[in-house]
Structure 1
């Protein structure tokens, strides 16, 4: 049955503060963190707040010096991946707001607002990087790649079509399917791009940009976990939607996403980037497809891939910014710095 979703009331005087359901329930819409439906919401809120950062805190001076000396292949990949990330984070901001409208629970609405704000910061970071490194004309060109790169357009349409189905017809089924597309966007489509930036950092290139990418990577991991929790809570409340058809949709959609991401990796990285083996990147994409399927509660779609083939990348993906700086290998605390004297060493 295609249950239509109802938007959350701005206020309901007769409803409890603690929502009755995750969607299509009732709630006063008054947020009291000590009276919310989901026990995991407040810890998630604290973690997302702890991740707060802004692009201004990254000193780009060394990257500015290095960028002109990058090989043309690395420059091309650098700019096109930034163009990809800018498009995806732009639509992600809007999607989070659309989902928030239908979440009955006010704590989950609050988490979505924080998520959307983080996506705005991500998008700002791409402008910040480009304005530091290239002309305004080139920056504008990069922000038009989503229109001019056929491979990029194809994979972006894949996501936007999935989101649009939910935006135009808000049903439980379309919400669940849109979350699958979200997990692909935030938990798979970014990852070959992330690997490229971490590869540069591994070779002491464009370290400031790669640090910013790490902050984004860390945020996206939290975002994936939030949407996975929402997905599972919706299925828990609407078990009749936990069907073989949905399972097959998840597998089919992930397989298509993997092929699109591999096509993009072949186009943008191929055998052009010294030190990156394309086969390892392709297996890395499949590894994360397995990881995301498992998070959603399904079996691996590539059982032959049992380990992360880019073992070195774990040092970049799993950085605790309150413990160790993986670029400088020294202890540091993530604290705010003066924006007028924001050297990278002071972070």
Structure 2
């Protein structure tokens, strides 16, 4: 059961009536997500083959490394949603959005599979790296720890500690994995297009970024809503724990990026990417009400239009002319 007017709740018979909508932000995000529906085969990825074949070994390693991480972790996000979020909320508008997000995560997984099928990438290496590369495995273990807790029978969402576990899982997968780690990878992936390489691959990443920006907006709204509705969570100690989780996430990403770009590629090295990671972390901290920690500038200002969530309000209002499904006409 749930407290009156609380988004948290586990009653099966609760949250079965969509109207009146209690959380308009969730409904708005659902409508935007439906309008943004796309499919990977709309991109002619084969046109990038010539670019990929003439890239350096270091550049090919970077693309392979990114796919090795993105492919399994899109499905890991789905587990975080299915086991750690959906069962613990009772607002139908939030359930609608989460159902669409879970479909999008599957679509992203198939998109990265499309990349692996199209480019001459060693699939054995790509599939095993998330386990065999220590920096990649450490990130995955970090996420699994929080998701696993959400599946344990001892979890009671009506208690203060249970609600803390709910927030911890949200911060782990939404703020850190999707809002920092994924965005770091998007920047590297899109850097090739800045050099007029892999332009169609860049378009595919653009579409993924569009979805992920909505995911991040939903997660931040959900975190802030739960905190606002539950005064027992509003303690300096819990706030510091959440802040430290984000800082720990930055450290893991720094090591990962050193493995992603061990010698650097034209116009990009690990230090550059890691400054962007710190910039992203400061934005995520601010969005949760903290002071920025790293105080660094954005080294990739060309990414701001796509990825800076401080501009998300305007970003959401802009019509996406690249792809838009009219849900009413079914076109």
* TM-score for both structures, normalised by structure 1: 0.82
Shift in Å, 1:259: 0.8
Between 51-60 and 164-173, report the one with greater CA deviation. Answer: 164-173
Residue of structure 1 equivalent to 2:30? 45
Matches for 1:60-209 after TM superposition, within 5 Å: 60-98=45-83, 99-134=85-120, 138-168=122-152, 169-170=155-156, 171-182=162-173, 183-209=175-201
How far apart in 2 are the matches of 1:208 and 1:23? 41
Shift in Å, 1:254: 1.1
How far apart in 2 are the matches of 1:113 and 1:269? 35
Structure 1, unaligned runs of 5 or more: 1-5, 9-18, 326-331, 337-347
Runs of 4+ displaced beyond 6 Å: 318-325
Is the partner of 1:47 in helix, strand or coil? helix
Shift in Å, 1:141: 3.1
Residue of structure 2 equivalent to 1:334? 323
How far apart in 2 are the matches of 1:179 and 1:72? 37
Question: Given that residues 321 and 334 in structure 1 are in contact (C-alpha distance below 8 angstroms), is that contact kept between their aligned partners in structure 2?
Answer: no
Shift in Å, 1:41: 2.0
Residue of structure 1 equivalent to 2:159? none
How far apart in 1 are the matches of 2:228 and 2:260? 40
Question: Given that residues 188 and 273 in structure 2 are in contact (C-alpha distance below 8 angstroms), is that contact kept between their aligned partners in structure 1?
Answer: no
Between 312-321 and 199-208, report the one with greater CA deviation. Answer: 312-321
Is the partner of 1:190 in helix, strand or coil? helix
Residue of structure 2 equivalent to 1:223? 215
Residue of structure 2 equivalent to 1:59? 44
Is the partner of 2:144 in helix, strand or coil? helix
Computing the radius of gyration from Cα coordinates, the structure with the larger value is 1
How far apart in 1 are the matches of 2:191 and 2:226? 38
Deviation by residue 1:53-84 (Cα, 9 ceiling, x = unmatched): 11011111221222111100011110011110
Residue of structure 2 equivalent to 1:314? 304
Is the partner of 1:334 in helix, strand or coil? coil
Matches for 1:259-298 after TM superposition, within 5 Å: 259-298=251-290
Q: Structure 1 residues 316, 40: closer, same or farther in 2, change over 3 A?
A: closer
Deviation by residue 1:239-293 (Cα, 9 ceiling, x = unmatched): 1111112111112111111011111111211432111143332211011001111
Shift in Å, 1:176: 0.8
How far apart in 1 are the matches of 2:319 and 2:210? 15
Question: Given that residues 38 and 323 in structure 2 are in contact (C-alpha distance below 8 angstroms), is that contact kept between their aligned partners in structure 1?
Answer: no
Deviation by residue 1:114-170 (Cα, 9 ceiling, x = unmatched): 1111000000101111111126xx224312211111111011111111222223235
Residue of structure 2 equivalent to 1:241? 233
Coordinate RMSD, CA, aligned: 2.4
Question: Given that residues 201 and 210 in structure 1 are in contact (C-alpha distance below 8 angstroms), is that contact kept between their aligned partners in structure 2?
Answer: yes
Q: Structure 1 residues 287, 139: closer, same or farther in 2, change over 3 A?
A: same
How far apart in 1 are the matches of 2:235 and 2:52? 50
How far apart in 2 are the matches of 1:24 and 1:90? 25
User: Relative contact order: is structure 1 or structure 2 higher (C-alpha 8 Å, sep ≥ 6)?
Assistant: 2
How far apart in 2 are the matches of 1:45 and 1:86? 24
Question: Given that residues 37 and 324 in structure 2 are in contact (C-alpha distance below 8 angstroms), is that contact kept between their aligned partners in structure 1?
Answer: no
Question: Given that residues 48 and 114 in structure 1 are in contact (C-alpha distance below 8 angstroms), is that contact kept between their aligned partners in structure 2?
Answer: yes
Structure 2, unaligned runs of 5 or more: 157-161, 326-331
